[in-house]
Amino acid sequence: MAKLLNLAAGAALAALATTGSALAETVTLEVVHAWGGHKRFHEPIAEAFMKQHPEIEIKYRAPMKSYTDGHQTILRQALSDDLPDIWYSPYNTLGELVAALEQRGQITDLEPMMKAEGDAWVEANYAPNVLTLGQVDGRQWGVPFNASTPIVYYNLDLIEEAGGDLNKLPGDWDGLITLGAKVSKLGDDVDGLAYSVSEWGDDWLWQALVFNFGGKLMDDQKTRVTFGDDAGVQAVKLVDRIARETGMPLLTEDQTIQQFSAGKLGIFIGSTAEVRVMGELVGDKFAWKTGGYPIADQAKGGVPTGGNVAVILSKDEAKKKAAWEFVKFATGPEGQKIAVLGSGYMPTNLQTAGPDYLGGHYADNPDWTTSMKQWPVAKAWFGYPGNMGTKIWREQQAILASIIRGDTTPEAGLDKLVSTTEALVRE
């Protein structure tokens, strides 16, 4: 990081001494994101940006350990007026963030900035369904930076050893569970299937279960919890089936990735953001591939869009202008190419998948395109009203873990999930 900043400072001085700058003086922006591992693409994006904009210095604060931790930290920093200039907010808590910061003048409505760029620029870079991920009540508070959907990772060697057909890998829940059960019988500490719904850092995978059965978390007015319906019943029963029939262990996301990459797990359901890491960890130890997340209800089912949106939190006008330049770059085709290649996330910029940027990469690496094929069924990552999302998930986690362990029946677990969520929403 020191090298990154020194390069930027030197470039800025040179630019000011020769050609001048659109800004009166060097502007330093403090930026923060979640997940320490994401430095691998955030820092190169900053380096590339500062080469083009030597009058702007990007300084990263220490990354947040998770989206949940980051959101709560930002809310606390707002009270002491110690906010970064840019924060990559998870989609599901953007509504909470806007509700808390707008009244204090601590978050910038980006609609005027986008209009100033012109309709042609917007249409050339962002699809309408992508832009909605950064909207709250129809206003554009952020620009989507990372986007992901859940996908399935298959260990082809274990599946073949268990008698599975590599030419007909299952894409439905019954098929996945049946195959996972076969793999789990191989012994030698091999697990069949892992879907860490209760051990994830947020409710993204739990929402995926409800969504795939055509359900919703709450009604459109966000006044009533609705996943106590048939979709919710099927979701908790599926969690129970996976645990009972495949012997699924309770592992965190990181533990599951390690298990899979070590060749000890047949099927892993996780994020497309892990495609690059998985490739690096697996290497040539065994053959693997990705597949789409099962959708039980083909008419109404879908998957939640994970990821984050770049929001501007500075009150200083010069910093706002500089921050907008950085946001445009990070969510533009060049910034998105760096972000995608450093992760496996889907690009949020329309130009990035084209031949000038990642077209050739996707043609050579089809496993990276699995999530992109799910855009037609991608839904918004739901955020609860008020500021209770984090607390709601912590309570839901414990209940789902109890179902997986077999301590609670699916029916009783769903009743508790609904009643607990309703009580917290009303607080």
For residues 368 and 390, membership in a common domain is answered with no
Indicate the pLDDT class of residue 24, thresholds 50, 70 and 90.
Answer: low
Q: Which of 374, 392, 408 is the last residue of a domain?
A: 374
Assess whether 266 and 157 both reside in one domain.
yes
Indicate whether 386 pLDDT > 90: no
Give the per-residue pLDDT at 7.
40
**pLDDT, mean of residues 93-109:** 97
Q: Do 267 and 193 belong to one domain?
A: yes
pLDDT band at 427 (very low <50, low <70, confident <90, very high): confident
Q: Is the pLDDT of residue 405 over 60?
A: yes
Same structural domain, 300 and 397: yes
Structure tokens that stand for 8 in this block:
């930027």
The count of domains in the chain is: 2
Shared domain check, 275 and 288: yes
**76: how many CB neighbours lie within 10 A of its CB?**
11
**Are residues 99 and 193 both part of a single domain?**
no
What are residue 290's phi and psi, to 5 degrees?
-115, 160
Share of the chain above pLDDT 70, in %: 94
The reply to whether 138 and 31 lie within a common domain is yes
The pLDDT of residue 4 is above 90 = no
Q: What CATH number corresponds to the domain at position 219?
A: 3.40.190.10
Are residue 16 and residue 81 in the same domain, yes or no?
yes
Domain encompassing residue 119: 2-148+306-374
pLDDT at position 188: 86
322 and 288 in a single domain? The answer is no
Q: Are residues 135 and 272 in the same domain?
A: no
> By C-alpha distance, which of 387, 393, 396 is closest to 416?
396
pLDDT in tens, 345-367: 999 999 999 999 999 999 999 99
351, 374, 397: which is the final residue of a domain? 374
The answer to whether residues 61 and 299 touch, using CB atoms and an 8 Å cutoff, is: no
Q: Are residues 182 and 263 in the same domain?
A: yes
pLDDT in tens, 115-149: 999 999 999 999 999 999 999 999 999 999 999 99
Please tell me the least confidently modeled range out of 4-13, 48-57, 143-152, 330-339: 4-13
* 192 and 135 co-located in one domain: no
Tell whether the model's pLDDT for residue 179 goes beyond 70.
Answer: yes
Residue 162 is predicted with a pLDDT of 98
